Structure 1
Amino acid sequence: MLKEHFEGIQMALVKEVKEMKEIFKQMKAEVEQNDVDKQCADIERKNLLIENENLIDDCLSNELLYSVMNAVNTVSRFSEMLDAYTVEQARCLELEAEISKLKHKINKDDHSEMIKHFSNLEIDHLNLQLKYQNLKERFGNNKSQTSRDTFEFDLFFEINKMKEQLQGKNKTIRNLKDKISHMNERRSEADCTLDFKALDSQNIKLIEHVTALQEQNERFMADNEKVKRHYKELYDSIKITDAKTIEKTTSC
């Protein structure tokens, strides 16, 4: 009876020892697996750190490249603007010279001669009017004298002839007035239109060119901000991944 009791105890101990051995084997396997996982995590962490360093280097190189390109583009744009300004300035000088020539031509043209001719015509017109008035008075005074019918008849035709001359002079004077007025308008337009409208058009084109360059520069700056935000997001993501990996390794 006692022997059976000891055999039962022995079998229970053997079974318990086997279970403990099995547990130790499992624990050893888990420890080995943890070592393997730790090594893999270390390798992954090193790779992430290397990738992070590469991304940082890329960010710095891209930012440096953008700064250099932006500086080159800025210098190039300002050089183009300076060239455009020089061209426009030369064009303005040409326009000023052209305006001066037009003013000189307008003043030198037949303006003085036409004014002189106009004054002479006005004098002739006044003389003809006086002569016409005298003849009209003579015709009225001689209207009742029948002995001078022939003289009155000739005088009537002379008055009609003078009327036609007066009408022709009046027409010539009106034409001269119209020409002088037209020349004054041309001179005024040359003074104002050529002096301001042409220059304003050139200035507007130059302002539009400068505005386009400013808009292009703003687009470059916006693209640069997008690139910076993208690499910052990648950098933050890598930092979070590193923190999780370190936390996992520490907990193991």
Structure 2
Amino acid sequence: MKLRKVTAASAAVLALAVTATACGSGDGGSGSGGGKKIKIGIKFDQPGIGQKTPQGYSGFDVDVATYVAKKLGYSADQIEWKESKSADRETMLQRGDVDFIAASYSITPERQQKVDFAGPYLLAHQDVLVRADDNSIKSPADLNSKKLCSVTGSTSAQNIKDKLAPKADLLKYPTYSACLNGLQNKAVDALTTDDSILAGYAAQPQFKGKFKLGGFKMTNENYGIGVKKGSDLKNKINKALQDMVADGSWKKAVDKNFGPAGYKNEPAPKIGDIKS
């Protein structure tokens, strides 16, 4: 009987040890590397920013996230990429579906109430993309009576109509790729969203030399890396972002992903410096 008690106690200790080990192995955000994974949210459908292709994942946000993950102790093959659509980002962080999100994620007061942000790591602006041979659009006011394309659900085109070009003819397409095809075929005169996103699309090989950015800088979009509210990853990611700028990796990522479109990027923003 005494032997049974000892055996039962030993079994209980062993079970607790196994449980603790199992729990520890699932902590993707500890930054300790080893055999663990880190889950990172990105866009899957934004060339130059975050795109899933048959060859893997590419884009500026992918390069930034990969660099950050390495600084946290994770190699590229330990990253589990998760698609983070715009409407799902806060929920994914709150539920713990991902450790952090780098997905053209503008820092806003409304979002800061729900999640924390490291960064910013890029200052983008709302802009327009036009055909390379079109010299008729030199300012936002020139969009009056022009066909202005944006994606269904986006507020970018409406912002221009409300504030800058009240006579613009707004057209809503389902995707940016559809807008680009319309721009190429002269069904529309301009496409509007963040300049970084526009540069990413225009930098695709099939569009090289066909489009140009207006350079209007109509809004400030401070891209940050989202983390769960109260997460200690925020400070670690901020340090990684500072290192990325300091060692030149940030500039290389900008040139690689946006350079072919003639994107005139802002200098790397200072951590915590959010432009209104």
TM-score > 0.5, shorter chain as reference? no
More strand as a share of residues: 2
TM-score, length-normalised on structure 1? 0.24
Q: Report which of the two structures shows the higher radius of gyration computed on alpha carbons.
A: 1
